[in-house]
Amino acid sequence: MEYNDMNSYKDTNPSPKLDQKTLNKMVWRSLFLQASFNYERMQAGGWLYSILPGLEKIHTNKEDLSKSMTHNLEFFNTHPFLVTFVMGIILSLEQNKVEIPTIRAVRVAAMGPLGGIGDAIFWFTLVPIVAGISSNMALQGSIAGPILFFTVFNICQFALRFWLMNWSYKMGESAIDILTENAKEFTRAASILGVIVVGALVSVYGDTSIALEVDNGTTNTPVLVDTIVNNNEISQYDDLLYKDKEKKELNDGAVIRDLGNGKSEIEFNTYEEQPVKVKIQEVLDGIIPDLVPLSITLLLFFLLTKRKWTPIKCIGFLLVLGIVGAYIGVF
């Protein structure tokens, strides 16, 4: 008997529709979805806090409200910017006093796909594109860079929060089928675009370069000499000025310019032996430009996926690599 009581509400009459003020209030509360995040129930505390104003208006019976709060405090985890989509659906079901197991099943079914869809929309697409544009503006000294980022980002997320709440509340359970019908294709397309943008950011902003230089013998390097001499002293520089004096054929780069005052300006090259060094970075750029940032990115990808490193370990690794590499002169 007690089991059956936990599967349904006492008052099974549909409640009046929620007003816009209550829906808006829950949207604002959804900003605190992860305020009590924990590894046992994830976002459950924030979820109940967000949806509570609606539940209080739907369930005037205190026992029904207690049941609703209890099952809405179970494990919950979804994308924080798309949570209002789940809220609208659940509120619609709660309003119609659907059986509790059905509400729980729909909540679990709705929260799962939104994680991947939300990541594709925001973290793999919107944020890299907007951050790439605005950070470039900031690097050029424009204060409009960070302002643009926060403006675009917040307009997108708040517009989506409010729209999803109202749309999914009106659509009810059928909203799940509409959204997930092409979710796979949409997520894949958005992910591909995001990967392209991230790859471009690695190339543009990956400034890591190899500072190593390898000795490669010596070479005679021309050094330009520019001087003014008396016309009767020019013959002293014949070996430096002429290939063939009889033919008046000057060496490459040699110039004799009569100044008309008994003096001339002469230019010629002398050759000095200088060491030759091969720059490793120039060799790598000749193979694949920005090969070092690409290699570091692929190494981090390998450590994260194959070695199961955490992001914290990767950050520590980059810190140590940069310090040690700079100290020994690699970077």
Q: Taking CA 89 as the corner, what is the angle to CA 88 and CA 90, rounded to the nearest 5 degrees?
A: 95
| Cα separation, 220 vs 226, whole angstroms | 19
Residue closest to 204 by CA, chosen among 133, 122, 286? 133
Structure tokens, 281: 């970075």
- What is this structure's pTM? 0.54
| Cα separation, 63 vs 181, whole angstroms | 37
- Summarised one tens digit per residue, pLDDT across range 24-49 is 999 999 999 998 888 778 899 999 99
- Where do the DSSP E strands lie in 95-163? none
CB of 43 within 8 A of CB of 33? yes
| pLDDT < 70: residue spans in the chain | 1-5, 173-191, 193-194, 197-198, 201, 205, 247
pLDDT score recorded for residue 129: 84
Q: Are strands 263-279 and 255-258 parallel, antiparallel or unpaired?
A: antiparallel
> Where in the chain are the domains?
20-205, 213-279, 290-328
Q: Is 127 helix (H, G, I), strand (E, B) or coil?
A: helix
> At 113, phi and psi to the nearest 5?
-60, -25
Angle between helices 20-29 and 44-58 (to 10 degrees): 170
pLDDT score recorded for residue 3: 42
Torsion sign, CA atoms 49, 53, 54, 60: positive
pLDDT score recorded for residue 1: 40
Determine which helix (DSSP H) or strand (DSSP E) holds 217, and give its type and residue range: strand 213-230
Question: CA separation (Å) from 85 to 2, 144, 185, 267?
Answer: 32, 32, 20, 79
| Cα separation, 175 vs 165, whole angstroms | 11
- Summarised one tens digit per residue, pLDDT across range 49-100 is 999 999 999 999 999 999 999 999 998 988 899 999 989 989 988 888 888 8
- Summarised one tens digit per residue, pLDDT across range 2-30 is 444 677 888 888 888 899 999 999 999 99
